[in-house]
Amino acid sequence: MNNSNINIPYPSNEPILDYAPGSAERDSVLKTYDELYKKKTTVFLKINGKNVKGDSTKKMTPPHDHKHQLGEYHIANKNHVKSAILSALNAKSKWSKMHWTRRASIFLKAADLLAGPYRDKINAATMIAQSKTVHQAEIDAACELIDFLRFNAYYMQEIYQNQPESSPGMWNQLHYRPLEGFIYSISPFNFTAISGNLSASAALMGNVVVWKPSDHQIFSAQVVMEVFEAAGLPDGVINMVMGDPEMITNTILASENFAGVHYTGSTFVFQDIWKKIGSNISNYKTYPKIVGETGGKDFIIAHPTANIKEVATAIVRGAFEYQGQKCSAASRVYLPKSTSKKILSEVKRQLDTIKMGPPNDLKNYVTAVIHEEAFDRIVDSIEKVKSDTDAEIYCGGEYDKSIGYFISPTVVTTLNPNYFSMEKELFGPLVTVYTYDDKKWKETLKLVDETSIYALTGAVFSEDRYAMDEAITALENCAGNFYLNDKPTGAVVGQQPFGGARASGTNDKAGSVFNLLRWVSPRMIKENFIPVTDYKYPFLKEN
């Protein structure tokens, strides 16, 4: 038995590889891409560490070539979900008693596997499954997931070190117990890192998990699972089930041992889950923790003093990287009348140089949107703009789904600050620009604050420090992640803990102590070294 006080050193962010022509990483990720693309992959349910067949299967296809079959994944029925719950509960006793440094070492090893031998595989799988450029895959599937795993292990240590004062004659100890029961994690399609972190963060703190990945990320989700297994994660700690999201969710929420949900996805699904938990509340052994990071309608506002090229570049990168399918993507922009024409023309100049196509052609900056439903939703919006009188397409607006779900980066301009695309999350390569009167800076800040139900990310560009200060104050509740002279995307673990409030979520900041604290239930232990032997306090004594 080792009794030494082991220390997890402070991690640094995983360096981002650049995949420049001629680089070793470029050749090797493309080779892995080809291999995975050609091979037929079967993804099984993962229950108690075993590959389990479902009742039926579904095909997996890449968004940029939807006729190509990558293989299939198995669909769970109710009994599979119940056995995933049971498997988690059976794993609980040993896992929660394992020393925290040993739990940490499993996830630290997973980080090193991702940084080294699995880097190509996780990136290539993400390029294929979610149609990410190699750069978008690298900053998500490799670097962000590695950072989540390393920083969370360090933050766990910080949490455990946090202990109360002890007066003379006693010793107070705070124990950070895992939650009683199991955690349900539900992940979205758009970030492989989030898919891994939702389960890993809860498991790291000693919890057991049933994980339901998005139907549109299963091809890369199985690589995440493979890495956890290769790192030595014991059977049953994280179980993966795929299939009808409502059936899976209803089965899980019906369990008296359901102890919490770790969700990332759209707002209305989260609200539905919350309602279901509410109506089941008297059936649970413990009040479930509800953690959800959800939608966004993220803004950029430029002051008249803002630098034209900086604002234009922030719009191009912030709105169109990964086809605008980031919860943090800029989707509403407020430009002053005095500079809006120049900014828009710089945006167009930059967009004219952008190439669109499959992610294995590294010249492409824009690839396909995730699925047909997303394609149709965005195309409907483009067509609506074309027929409306209070908005117009400034550039882009072309689309084609014959091979993959391709939509060109589209800039819409409007003089109606409440135009539907200024308010609604569309989650695609479409940004709407509203031009305001330079004299109405304060009124425009109010507009930004009141236009959307969301409050995830936002950015202000200004060379005037007083104006910037005004924006920081007026927009206090508009964004959980607020950027000054920078695009509103690209939060880095350990540097900008991420999450928003209002309809954007519970703001528990993924990759931080705030989030990890949700997966523990503190237990206070007071030991009295010198117990008293007489009930009388001094004031009761006679003179």
504 lies in the binding site for ligand NAD (CB under 6 A): yes
Cα of 175 vs its chain's centroid, Å: 29
482 lies in the binding site for ligand NAD (CB under 6 A): no
The three-state secondary structure class of 443 is helix
Residues in contact with ligand NAD, shown as a per-residue x/- string from 424 to 463 under the rule CB under 6 A: -x-x----------------------------x-------
**Nearest alpha-carbon partner for 417 in 503, 304, 488, 334:** 334
What's the CA gap between 389 and 99, in Å, rounded? 64
What's the CA gap between 417 and 540, in Å, rounded? 71
**Nearest alpha-carbon partner for 231 in 115, 125, 139:** 115
- Gyration radius of the chain's alpha carbons: 25
Q: Which is nearer to ligand NAD, 104 or 370 (CB)?
A: 370
Q: Which window, 70-78, 177-185, 218-226, 264-272, contacts ligand NAD (CB under 6 A)?
A: 264-272
Shortest distance, CB of residue 54 to ligand NAD, whole angstroms?
A: 15
Q: Which is nearer to ligand NAD, 47 or 113 (CB)?
A: 47
505 lies in the binding site for ligand NAD (CB under 6 A): yes
296 lies in the binding site for ligand NAD (CB under 6 A): yes
Q: Which is nearer to ligand NAD, 134 or 455 (CB)?
A: 455
508 lies in the binding site for ligand NAD (CB under 6 A): no
307 burial class (0-12, 13-18, 19+ CB within 10 angstroms)? Answer: middle
144 lies in the binding site for ligand NAD (CB under 6 A): no
Amino acid in the structure at residue 480:
G
Position of minimal CB gap to ligand NAD = 265
**Nearest alpha-carbon partner for 523 in 187, 206, 258:** 206
Which listed residue (63, 265, 359, 488) binds ligand NAD by CB under 6 A? 265
188 lies in the binding site for ligand NAD (CB under 6 A): yes
Q: Which window, 242-250, 434-442, 467-475, 511-519, contacts ligand NAD (CB under 6 A)?
A: 242-250
Shortest distance, CB of residue 36 to ligand NAD, whole angstroms?
A: 21
**Nearest alpha-carbon partner for 478 in 300, 268, 271:** 300
Shortest distance, CB of residue 153 to ligand NAD, whole angstroms?
A: 21
What's the CA gap between 292 and 186, in Å, rounded? 9
Asked if 472 and 482 touch (Cβ cutoff 8 Å), the reply is yes
What's the CA gap between 210 and 89, in Å, rounded? 10
Which listed residue (48, 245, 313, 400) binds ligand NAD by CB under 6 A? 245
What's the CA gap between 50 and 148, in Å, rounded? 26
What's the CA gap between 506 and 500, in Å, rounded? 7
What's the CA gap between 96 and 395, in Å, rounded? 55
Q: Which window, 37-45, 182-190, 394-402, 459-467, contacts ligand NAD (CB under 6 A)?
A: 182-190
Looking at residues 76 to 95 of the shown chain, list those that interact with ligand NAD (rule: CB under 6 A).
Answer: none
266 burial class (0-12, 13-18, 19+ CB within 10 angstroms)? Answer: middle
327 catalytic, yes or no?
Answer: yes
> Could you tell me how many residues of this chain bind ligand NAD (CB under 6 A)?
30
298 lies in the binding site for ligand NAD (CB under 6 A): no
Write the DSSP symbol of residue 168: T
Q: Which residue has the tokens 């898919």?
A: 195
Which listed residue (183, 327, 411, 448) binds ligand NAD by CB under 6 A? 327
294 lies in the binding site for ligand NAD (CB under 6 A): yes
152 lies in the binding site for ligand NAD (CB under 6 A): no
190 lies in the binding site for ligand NAD (CB under 6 A): yes
251 lies in the binding site for ligand NAD (CB under 6 A): no
Question: Which one is catalytic: 293, 321, 346, 425?
Answer: 293
Shortest distance, CB of residue 78 to ligand NAD, whole angstroms?
A: 15
The three-state secondary structure class of 268 is helix
Question: Which one is catalytic: 143, 327, 395, 478?
Answer: 327
Shortest distance, CB of residue 530 to ligand NAD, whole angstroms?
A: 51
Asked if 299 and 334 touch (Cβ cutoff 8 Å), the reply is yes
Q: Which is nearer to ligand NAD, 35 or 246 (CB)?
A: 246
Q: Which is nearer to ligand NAD, 137 or 269 (CB)?
A: 269
3-state secondary structure 22-59: CCHHHHHHHHHHHHHHHCCEEECEEECCEEECCCEEEE
Q: Which window, 88-96, 99-107, 359-367, 497-505, contacts ligand NAD (CB under 6 A)?
A: 497-505
396 lies in the binding site for ligand NAD (CB under 6 A): no
489 lies in the binding site for ligand NAD (CB under 6 A): no
Shortest distance, CB of residue 55 to ligand NAD, whole angstroms?
A: 18
What's the CA gap between 213 and 84, in Å, rounded? 14
Shortest distance, CB of residue 185 to ligand NAD, whole angstroms?
A: 9
Q: Which window, 60-68, 168-176, 227-235, 262-270, contacts ligand NAD (CB under 6 A)?
A: 262-270
Residue 132 CA: distances (Å) to CA of 135, 136, 243, 366, 386: 8, 6, 24, 8, 28
Asked if 205 and 156 touch (Cβ cutoff 8 Å), the reply is yes
293 lies in the binding site for ligand NAD (CB under 6 A): yes
Asked if 36 and 71 touch (Cβ cutoff 8 Å), the reply is no
Asked if 483 and 136 touch (Cβ cutoff 8 Å), the reply is no
346 lies in the binding site for ligand NAD (CB under 6 A): no
How far apart, in Å, do the first and last CA atoms of the chain sit? Answer: 57
Q: Which window, 59-67, 105-113, 190-198, 399-407, contacts ligand NAD (CB under 6 A)?
A: 190-198
What's the CA gap between 402 and 321, in Å, rounded? 22
155 lies in the binding site for ligand NAD (CB under 6 A): no
Catalytic residues: 293, 327
Enumerate binding residues for ligand NAD (CB under 6 A).
Answer: 186-191, 194, 212, 214-215, 245-246, 249, 264-266, 269, 272-273, 293-296, 327, 425, 427, 456, 498, 504-505
